[in-house]
């Protein structure tokens, strides 16, 4: 190797080392500046049923604290304790602004009390959601529910929890036909939306395999019930494996 080439390599290594050191110093300086930025304001978006005051109280943040010292995972977890909030996404800006983007839970059914009054909603996980004044949701009503809730805030009834998840996902489209849900002896019974000459036909679902039963109900609705307006559908029973038992309403 020539003396010139050897010297060039040494100089190149020196320059690269100096450049790296400068980058490190600048990075540390920038990070040090970031750590001095104080929380100036909080912007909350996406909240409709959860009040801004409730969210701020759960977040438990104070203007003036170092914004990049805030544990966003911990703050999100605190906010998500609110029944109406399913997800809280937090971002911190070097302007001192902290943004909280709220994703709220979606009601699946409206539970009525023994007097027929609105009691609360349930979402797909069976979490109790208090009704909000002047904000009704077009969901099936639910009668006969009297079970409690576990430590996570979800319904303690496994049958109800499974049914709610299937109804919320509603891959078959059968959920649009349902006007009412009843819990009778730990079994689910439905009332269909009246259509044509058919009234609110009751449907017996049982206590499990709701997704498969929804698919059967959806197919039966479009293939038999809608074309068969002259037929008398007193009751539909889906509790038997891969069968649809129709009972007449006539004596």
Residues 193, 69, single domain; the answer is no
Cα 42 to Cα 46, 52, 61, 94, 102: the distances in Å are 13, 10, 9, 13, 13
Count structural domains, the chain. 2
Residues 176, 227, single domain; the answer is yes
Q: pLDDT tens-digit profile of 144-171? A: 998 888 877 889 899 999 999 999 998 6
Residues 83, 204, single domain; the answer is no
Q: Which domain holds residue 72?
A: 41-104
Q: Is 12 a member of any domain? A: no
Residues 92, 127, single domain; the answer is no
- CATH code assigned at 147: 3.40.50.10960
Q: Please report, rounded to a whole number, the percentage of residues in the chain having pLDDT higher than 90.
A: 50
Residues 210, 94, single domain; the answer is no
Helix 210-220 × helix 158-169 angle, to 10°: 50
Q: Is 6 a member of any domain? A: no
Residues 141, 127, single domain; the answer is yes
Q: Is 36 a member of any domain? A: no
Q: Which residue has the higher pLDDT, 1 or 76?
A: 76
Residues 233, 124, single domain; the answer is yes
Residues 186, 221, single domain; the answer is yes
Q: Is 18 a member of any domain? A: no
Q: Is 171 a member of any domain? A: yes
Q: Which of 5-14, 158-167, 203-212 has the lowest mean pLDDT?
A: 5-14
Q: Is 22 a member of any domain? A: no
Q: What is the DSSP string of 48-80?
A: SSS-HHHHHHHHT--TTSBGGGS-HHHHHHHHT
Whether the predicted model's global pTM rises above the 0.85 cut: no
| pLDDT confidence bin for 139, thresholds 50/70/90 | very high
CA–CA distance, 67 with 150 (Å, rounded to integer): 35
């Amino acid at each position: 190797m020539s003396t010139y080439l050897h010297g060039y390599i040494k100089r190149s290594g020196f320059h690269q080392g100096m450049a790296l050191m400068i980058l490190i110093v600048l990075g540390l300086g920038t990070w040090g500046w970031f750590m001095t930025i104080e929380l100036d304001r909080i912007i909350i978006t996406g909240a409709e049923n959860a009040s801004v005051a409730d969210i701020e109280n759960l977040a438990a943040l104070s203007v003036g604290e170092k914004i990049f010292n805030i544990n966003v995972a911990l703050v999100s977890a605190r906010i998500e304790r609110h029944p109406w909030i399913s997800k809280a996404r937090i971002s911190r800006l070097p302007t001192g602004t902290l943004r909280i983007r709220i994703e709220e839970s979606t009601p699946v059914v409206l539970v009525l009390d023994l007097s027929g009054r609105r009691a609360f909603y349930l979402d797909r996980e069976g979490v109790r959601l208090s009704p909000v004044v002047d904000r009704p949701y077009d969901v099936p009503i639910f009668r006969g529910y009297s079970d409690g809730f576990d430590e996570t805030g979800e319904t303690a009834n496994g049958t109800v929890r499974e049914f709610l998840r299937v109804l919320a996902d509603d891959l078959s489209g059968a959920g649009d036909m349902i006007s009412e849900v009843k819990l009778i002896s730990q079994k689910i019974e439905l009332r269909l939306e009246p259509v044509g000459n058919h009234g609110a036909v009751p449907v017996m679902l049982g206590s499990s395999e709701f997704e498969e039963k929804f698919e059967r109900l959806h197919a039966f609705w479009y293939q038999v019930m809608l074309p068969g307006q002259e037929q008398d559908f007193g009751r539909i029973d889906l509790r038997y494996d891969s069968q649809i038992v129709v009972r007449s309403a006539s004596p």
